[in-house]
Amino acid sequence: MLDLSVYSSQKNQQLINSTDWNVLETEFDPSRLHHQETVFTLGNGYLGTRGTFEEGYPHDSPATIIHGVYDDVAIATTELVNCPSWLPFVVKVAGERFRMDSGEILHYERRLDLRLGIVSRDVRWRSPSGHTVEFHFERFASLANQHCLAIRCQITSVDFEGEIEVEVGFHPEPRTQAVKHWQTLKQGGLDNLIWLHSQTLHSAIELGMAAKLIVEGEEVASVHVNQVKDYSPTLVTTLQVEPEKTVTLEKIVTLYTSREIPTPAEAALIRLVAAPSYSTLLAAHIAAWERVWQDSDVVIEGDRFSQLSIRYNLFQLLAVAPRYDDRVSIPPKTLSGFAYSGHIFWDTEIFILPLLIHTQPALARNLLTYRYHTLRGARRKAQEMGYRGAMYAWESASTGDEVTPRWVPGPNGEQVRIWCGDIEVHINTDVAYAAWQYWQTTGDDEWMRDCGAEIILDTAVFWESRVEWNQQRHCYDIRDTIGPDENHDRVDNNAFTNVMVQWHLQTALALWDWLVKSYPDTSVQLAQKLYLQPEQLELWGDIANHLYINQDLVTGLIEQFEGFFNLEDVNLADYEPRTKSMQGLLGVEATSQKQILKQPDVLMLMYLLRDRFDRKTLKTNWDYYSPRTDHSYGSSLGPAIHAILACDLNQPAEAYTHFMRAAMVDLADVRRNAHEGIHAASAGGVWQAIIFGFAGVRLTNFGPIACPNLPPNWTRLKFRLKWRNEWHEFDLTA
């Protein structure tokens, strides 16, 4: 059971201030350094920058990650790389460098303003020599202009009179988990500008970055380029300060890659020269965030932790969703960390997309179009595996080819076989499901005609070649798969996969009928391209009607896969208290022989296809599978789904426990792994838990309706949803 009292601890009380829009850190704790770097991540739909300090800190994990900038790597094939850092900002007081690990910290506060998209920090620092100075840092990655980044530093002397030196620059060749990916092609500086031209070692993606340093209101302070051989150039200025005097410095940075423009270094310089002041950039950035929040904000009254947590989770998803690029998607750790190598999973389609479909449909369209652009890779994978049609990669990157490693080194150096890339095939239907949901909600016929239909139909062709006829049972089997519950691999007739495939084939037939009637020319072209014959379409219907699903006709209980009920039953309470997953405690092999779920499988199915299952069937399966799920340290994808289904079963207290487990996963580090990056799927699930769980929204042919079941402490829930180009406002009270 989740101990909700943890959220009332003194440390977590610091998270909240009176506006419910700010994440606060009022005490610097080096032991939480990497967790807080994740929490204070900024993004603008183009890049993400972890919340490291501008001046650096020993053993920190700085990272700026740009959508689509992959480079080759061992084992994982390719990975999103750590790009040259735009943050370095060094201040020396009487020759002593300001750092959080030197001198004495007299006051400290760091703030992420979610409404404005700004990270700021206030520090009162006494240098080793006894000089007291106050610093105010703030930075943002412009949402109004994705190629502009900015830092402002205000320095106020308390008791020091003398010289302060400021030096800004880049970190040109950072490592990505100890792997080198960059080479510097050229770099230089002139007047108050410096620039960098880099290239990835294998994928040959070029990056151009430029920066200028402005001393605001200081006519006497000059900025010059410091060029030392074998080092990246920096910009340096020296300032005379006295007590109660404040000096303000601004670092404006521009950044491009060859993914957008052939000459990124030149583009960065041109943009930098024309860049407006910090204040002007900031005003445009704030206005852009205001427009986003107008459509996507969720207001909760009566529960400040829930209010802050939903805004935080929304912020991290809205800050990473690509706005001008439909050839990239959102990785499981957003652009805030390197776990999973920045590859794209089903997390995006099933957990993240619903938020965007209903509040930012243009961004949802971008993400789905990524799947259209990667169809060729999906077809290559199907062919390599001996199937027809399109078989989406379990882990996808730039091309859509499978990048899941087949072998990884184990703890003792042995090679461990990873089967997900070969047989976790439910991804195929997850993509089709998301495409269908987008179309049903937006009515975007043009996208369905040009992109979505080909996705749904060619992935249906795959299923036709993947199923096997079982003569004994007179049914179709889907053998040797992995369902969402990855504690059990190489299973036959996984219920989630089989029922979703049934839905997929039935939906593909309905889509084909629409296409023939609405766009006959397109239907003819697709029939030729995908080799669709009338007898195939008949076969799809036959497969859908005869797929094997082991469900008790009396109780409604569905077996997760063939043989699951024969596995050893385990009481998870016997293993409490614990701080790791059940698989981590028992080992992979032992866990696979037990009825222990990493994440909901049958229950996930009942959420996605909730109109197909009545309440009695849901209750039966909930009572069986929920106690067997590792809620605390299994998959972070599970708690939000459990919250929704608990609402469906009129168990709001149980729902709230699951909800908070998801809502605070990064802010309170409830799984002790937030240092790896944002839990993007959980963030999307939190929004779904509120909208489809507590608000009880159902999508009907006449638009969305709400049947609320709010937690007892929520007095109001307010949000808006877009349905077929019309906004629907919901203002629910307890």
Residues classed as catalytic: 486
Q: Which residues contact 524 (CB under 8 A, 6 or more apart)?
A: none
3-state secondary structure of 594: strand
Buried b (16+ CB within 10 A) or exposed e, 61-75: bbbbbbbbbbbebee
H helices present in 587-728, as ranges: 588-592, 602-608, 615-625, 638-648, 652-663, 680-688
**Which DSSP category does 479 fall into?**
-
Assess contact for 612 and 661: CB atoms under 8 A.
no
3-state secondary structure of 296: helix
Cα separations in angstroms, 553 against 545, 556, 557, 559, 589:
16, 5, 8, 12, 32
Cα separations in angstroms, 656 against 603, 647, 713:
17, 9, 10
- Express the helix, strand and coil content of the chain in percent, nearest 5 each: 40, 25, 40
3-state secondary structure of 704: strand
| Alpha carbons 713 and 693: distance in angstroms, whole number | 15
158 conformational bin, left if phi > 0, alpha if psi -120 to 50, beta if neither: alpha
**Which DSSP category does 424 fall into?**
-
Instruction: Report whether the peptide linkage leading into residue 577 is cis, meaning its omega lies within 30 degrees of zero.
Output: yes
Q: What is the DSSP string of 48-81?
A: EE----TT--TT----EEETT-EEEETTTEEEE-
Would you say the C-alpha torsion 229, 234, 235, 240 has a positive or negative sign? negative
**Which DSSP category does 341 fall into?**
G
| Alpha carbons 371 and 327: distance in angstroms, whole number | 8
Cα separations in angstroms, 515 against 365, 501, 522, 536, 670:
19, 20, 7, 16, 47
Element at 212 (helix H, strand E): strand 206-216
Cα 382 to chain centroid distance, Å, stands at 27
| Alpha carbons 114 and 20: distance in angstroms, whole number | 9
| Alpha carbons 633 and 687: distance in angstroms, whole number | 21
Q: Look-up: residue for tokens 């994740």?
A: 38
Q: Which residues contact 95 (CB under 8 A, 6 or more apart)?
A: 165
Across the chain, how many H-helices and E-strands are there? 23, 30
Q: Look-up: residue for tokens 């020269």?
A: 273
Element at 210 (helix H, strand E): strand 206-216
**Burial bucket for residue 471 (CB in 10 Å: 0-12, 13-18, 19+):** exposed
